[in-house]
């Protein structure tokens, strides 16, 4: 089994932080975010980033922020099933999720996604939150999230939503 630890970016050691410059997931924008922007956003309370660490190297990360979603962008069956009001609703946005190319296809993305979904449950305990949204980069990424239960918006298949009750069911004992 792959041994990794998950740590908030703000708690990484100087040695661990230094490894972000060698991080390469194959997507320049995601690399750049980790290397040049994530720490600034963390300091300014814009996003919180969490890193997968293996042997003191960053091998993956994800970033979260608070957001709202226009309820009209969500599938009607979801809004009806959960009786959501007809105005913007608070959600947690999965802003980014990336795995270093050398560590891809080892289940790290799944571990990071599960950790992010657990954080949604924590947010929901102290603040209003109806679920998680993610803006997929392309259809292949959208398919990845749909495999975990995210539902695409009717007018934008790259906007995906997982309602809080679905997240709660995933972690029910």
Q: Which residues are catalytic?
A: 145
The reported pLDDT for the residue numbered 2 is 67
DSSP 102-143: GGTTSSHHHHHHHHHHHHHHHHHHHS---EEEEE-SSHHHHH
Closest by CA to 99, choosing from 9, 149, 30, is: 30
CATH number at 70 reads 3.40.630.30
Residues 113-120, mean pLDDT to the nearest whole number: 97
Residue pLDDT, tens place only, 52-67: 999 999 999 999 999 9
d(CA 69, CA 169): 22
pTM of the model: 0.93
Q: Residue 138 is part of which domain span?
A: 5-170
d(CA 6, CA 104): 16
The reported pLDDT for the residue numbered 142 is 97
Residues 131-158, mean pLDDT to the nearest whole number: 95
User: What is the domain count for the chain?
Assistant: 1
Closest by CA to 1, choosing from 54, 51, 50, is: 54
Residue pLDDT, tens place only, 57-96: 999 999 999 999 988 888 888 888 888 888 899 999 999 9
């Amino acid at each position: 089994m792959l041994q990794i630890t998950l740590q908030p970016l703000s708690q990484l050691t100087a040695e661990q932080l230094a490894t972000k410059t060698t991080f390469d997931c194959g997507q320049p924008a995601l690399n750049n975010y980790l290397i040049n922007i994530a720490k600034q956003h963390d300091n300014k309370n814009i996003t919180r980033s969490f890193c997968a660490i293996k042997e003191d190297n960053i091998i993956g990360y994800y970033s979260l922020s608070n957001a709202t979603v226009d309820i009209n962008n969500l599938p009607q069956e979801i809004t009806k099933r959960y009786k959501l009001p007809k105005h913007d609703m608070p959600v947690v946005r999965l802003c980014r999720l990336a795995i270093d190319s050398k560590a891809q296809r080892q289940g790290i993305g799944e571990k990071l996604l599960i950790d992010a979904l657990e954080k949604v449950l924590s947010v929901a305990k102290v603040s209003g939150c109806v679920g998680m949204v993610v803006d997929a980069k392309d259809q292949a990424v959208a398919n990845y999230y749909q495999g975990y239960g995210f539902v695409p918006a009717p007018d934008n298949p790259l906007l995906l939503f997982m309602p809080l009750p679905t997240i709660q069911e995933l972690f029910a004992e």
